[in-house]
Structure 1
Amino acid sequence: MGTVQESPTKLKREMKSRHLFMISLGGVIGTGLFIGSGYAIGEAGPIGTILAYLVGGILMYLAMVCLGELSVIMPVSGSFQAHATKFIGPATGFVIGWVYWLSWALYVGLEFVAAGLIMGRWFPDVPIWIWCALFIVLLFSINALSTKIFAETEYWFAGIKVLAVILFIGIGFCAMFGLITMNETATPYLSNIAGDGLFPTGLTGVFIVMMTVIYAFQGSEIMGVAAGETEKPEKNIPKAIRTIVVRVVVFYILAIFVLSALVPWKQAGVLESPFVTVLDIIGIPYAADIMNFVILTAILSVGNTGLFACTRILYSLSKDGMAHPLFGKLNKRGVPINALLVTLGFALLSLLTSFIAESTLFVVLLSVSGIGGTITWLIIALSQYRFRKQYIKDGGKVEDLKYRVRLFPLVPILCITICIFLFVFTAIDPTQRVSLILGFGFIGLCYLYYYFRYKRKGKSRHLIQ
């Protein structure tokens, strides 16, 4: 008689260095670049947009090095949620875990609809819900089979996006300087970059698009969520950080530069995808179909990564006693299947809210999702600051850390300051003020719920250990 195979009690470390790198890189190359870049250029102008992306890249780097130090000394699934619980307090760990889970689960639901709409352009007679159902089954299967299958799939999803951006930048530079003849358009050279001055909409335009830029870079913190399932985290996490930030910023800056050079900035804000417009201007056959395929890949990649991140955050919350123990159960393949099913269910529920409660619940969820990423980066920096202070106080030697933040405490303090600065300017802008109020209001409710559900009943003491 064969023996019964028991479910594992810990997540499997099946991700390799190449997986971790491409997952982090792919997490920030999505619709924020392919579609959101047009809005940014239209609001801030070419130079203003490049400046905004540079500042966003600096903030991303500050957050990633802080996360790197924490993930190497404490490589657990859930990452910054577990770090915040241990180094700041269980209440903050509870709040950041649920806010991050909610924001990603919402995005996953929206990505299913977006993927269906993309397919609708090629197959207009097929109902969109059929495509949504197909992609739901596909992404669920990828995440349910094993971590290794998820990592390999995401590696190729991200690879398609990266290759598309590289080819676009190369073709764009050739068109800018006349190496490729453009359709009925003179070679622009750099005339569109600064033709209307450095900041045609003033510095106000730069501040307005900053939150949009930060949203585009969010997703890089997935590296920390994946740390609990990464081979040799002390080696692969620092390696991923060293390569990811520079390449992401270079990709974004060069892509924005090409877009700004080939498309007048006043037209960029009203374009569905400035990438499609550029390819049309250059005369690339089937430009819209090519970019639709790339955008579809980006959407599926975000949905795939989002399901993974949500599942691991919910698993971590369960292990810390902040969610039902059922979500901490693993199947025989080492996947938190119950956490995956609940995440998928909520993602589907968020789809319904876009139709049933469009002006109420959906708006609240979207607001939380909007500020969730920036709050996460702030908490990552604060956790690293608290860890390092306690580490030194306990007699630890900084040189013994396998990966450490240099220029401490400047790096975490600067990261926290920039995040607060972004919230201040979001509050000043009337169009974004409501989302900030709703988002922070939800965070306040999470803290109150934690206090009455756990703190008052004395259930949080074991979470600090």
Structure 2
Amino acid sequence: MSTIEQFGYRQELQRSLGFADLMIYGLIFMVPIAPFGIFGNVFAVSHGMVALAYAVGLVAMAFTALSYAQMARAFPMAGSVYTYAGRGIAAPVGFIAGWAILLDYVLVPSLLYLVASVAMNSFIPVIPVWAWLAAFVVLNTVVNYLGIQMTARITRIMLVAELAVLAIFLVVGGVALAQGKAQTSAFTPIFESSGFTWSVVFAAASVAVLSFLGFDGISTLAEESREDARRLGRSMVAALGLAAVLFVVQTWIAALLTPNREALIANGDPAGSAFYDTAEFAGGHWLSVLTAVATAVAWGFANSLVAQAATSRLLFAMARDRQLPSFLAKVDAKHKVPVNATLVVAVISLVLGIYMSTRTNGIGELASLVNFGAMFAFLLLHVAVVVHYMIRQRSTNWLAHLVVPVLGFAVLVAVVYNQNVAAQWVGGIWLAVGLIILAVTYVIGRRPVLPSEVK
């Protein structure tokens, strides 16, 4: 089993997580009921073919998960795609990959906190959005500071609660279908000839893929896993596969029961209530309230809890390599967590979340930016697999080290090409800033350099 000492690092974080902990962490990061919150948007963009959009999103992420698993075996360290691109290709490429995925990781907690806070404010308006947001941030920061084991225990409880709510919706939805409440044929959520085009499908997948982001967060816990690197990779694939089944099933049932289908396709879902309206149609107001509150708690506490943990590990890894300020690499002596990185993520989430809550379409603006950074970083991940294994190692495993990454790269290009134009522009600007920073580091003589492997 490879150790991080082989790559010039000291083991500072606590190794305490098993296979089940890692898989549950990934499931919570993805959120088993994630489609609840973005169902209306995916429905509108896909012209009602929601289940197909999630199936295509699964294909894109499945190739990426397999590439992650290969790189986790080669480089069992924290840092996710930053580490894999840096070690697999070159340190400067790793910096760009890390910089790209930071756009996803840093914004995701803010987005999650904001969505949850707006939802809670709709039920308890006497407490303003900013107060809900601050409460979520403080709660999650305390839990993360107490150590990764505390985070793992909390996520197990939250996963059970989310699955219970999902089971209730599936049962009630199934009963509603049996009673003849379906608004369309059984195959429409999978394929509708009048609305099908590949551009529609990939555009919808670019939105649906938001629900899958999080399986990769497992890789950020490589230095806190007591499993070998192969089982770390398997936990990513297992979490992704299980989440995909849940996503397709729940969106298929919801799409069959969605009232006012034509209006939703034509006008979109600006209020974000399409799923809850469908739940009310299927089972009554109580089900609408249950699914809405579950979404708020899942996004604002469970999902943002693990998102904050993953982001802090990415900052820690980059700072340890002197590619971000060194104070972010400080590890708490008692709890064995990157304490300064955890606090920085909390502050950014709080400030950005409160600011975006004052904007007319703050949630939409944040959501449109989250996917771009991850997709670009995943493209570099696939390249890293080919460079490291096929070129450097002369691998003969053509399927895992050439076919899978090439197909994954091609699918992701199609997804990125069909993304929101504003997200493409802002994402492009973000990457340009990263390239400028990289150029400056060369000018001042501090180009990215990773600790050398001990021979």
Q: TM-score normalised to the size of structure 1?
A: 0.85
Name the structure 2 match of 1:207: 202
Displacement after TM superposition at 1:464 (Å): 6.7
Counterpart secondary structure, 2:86? helix
Contact 2:117 2:130 in 1 (8 A): yes
Q: Closer, same or farther in 2 for the Cα pair 1:117/1:423, shift >3 Å?
A: closer
Measured against aligned partners, the alpha-carbon deviations of 1:345-372 in whole angstroms (never above 9, x if no partner) come to 222231344267889x999976653301
Counterpart secondary structure, 2:152? helix
Name the structure 2 match of 1:457: 444
The question of 1:198 aligning with 2:192 is answered: yes
The question of 1:438 aligning with 2:433 is answered: no
Q: Closer, same or farther in 2 for the Cα pair 1:220/1:9, shift >3 Å?
A: closer
- Equivalent residue runs for 1:119-268 within 5 Å: 119-178=120-179, 186-188=180-182, 191=185, 193-194=187-188, 198-203=192-197, 204-264=199-259, 265-268=261-264
Aligned-partner Cα distance in 2 for 1:81–1:418: 21
Letter in structure 2 aligned against 1:54: A
Contact 2:46 2:204 in 1 (8 A): yes
- Equivalent residue runs for 1:21-32 within 5 Å: 21-29=23-31, 32=34
Displacement after TM superposition at 1:301 (Å): 1.9
Unaligned runs of 5+ in 1: 1-7, 179-185, 399-404, 427-431
Name the structure 1 match of 2:405: 412
Unaligned runs of 5+ in 2: 1-9
Letter in structure 1 aligned against 2:67: C
Displacement after TM superposition at 1:125 (Å): 1.8
Name the structure 1 match of 2:17: 15
Aligned-partner Cα distance in 2 for 1:97–1:260: 37
Aligned-partner Cα distance in 1 for 2:365–2:167: 37
Q: Identify which of 430, 435, 452 aligns with 1:447.
A: 435
Contact 2:114 2:353 in 1 (8 A): yes
Measured against aligned partners, the alpha-carbon deviations of 1:244-280 in whole angstroms (never above 9, x if no partner) come to 2322221111112101211143254437334322332
Aligned-partner Cα distance in 1 for 2:149–2:120: 28
Name the structure 2 match of 1:276: 276
Contact 2:17 2:227 in 1 (8 A): no
Aligned-partner Cα distance in 1 for 2:63–2:202: 19
Aligned-partner Cα distance in 2 for 1:12–1:425: 41
Contact 1:14 1:148 in 2 (8 A): yes
Name the structure 1 match of 2:329: 328
Measured against aligned partners, the alpha-carbon deviations of 1:408-441 in whole angstroms (never above 9, x if no partner) come to 3110011111112223333xxxxx2232022112
Q: Closer, same or farther in 2 for the Cα pair 1:200/1:140, shift >3 Å?
A: same
Counterpart secondary structure, 2:46? helix
Counterpart secondary structure, 2:114? helix
Letter in structure 1 aligned against 2:262: K
Displacement after TM superposition at 1:188 (Å): 2.7
Displacement after TM superposition at 1:397 (Å): 7.7
Counterpart secondary structure, 2:185? coil
Greater Cα offset, 195-204 or 23-32: 195-204
In angstroms, what is the RMSD of aligned CA positions?
Answer: 2.9
Q: What is the percent sequence identity of the aligned residues?
A: 18
Name the structure 1 match of 2:99: 98
Contact 1:44 1:199 in 2 (8 A): no
Q: Closer, same or farther in 2 for the Cα pair 1:375/1:130, shift >3 Å?
A: same
Contact 1:227 1:233 in 2 (8 A): no
Aligned-partner Cα distance in 2 for 1:334–1:397: 40
Displacement after TM superposition at 1:78 (Å): 1.0
Greater Cα offset, 143-152 or 238-247: 238-247
Larger Rg: 1
Name the structure 2 match of 1:341: 343
Q: Closer, same or farther in 2 for the Cα pair 1:158/1:95, shift >3 Å?
A: farther
Aligned-partner Cα distance in 2 for 1:30–1:243: 13
Measured against aligned partners, the alpha-carbon deviations of 1:264-312 in whole angstroms (never above 9, x if no partner) come to 4325443733432233223346223211221022212221122111100
The question of 1:107 aligning with 2:95 is answered: no
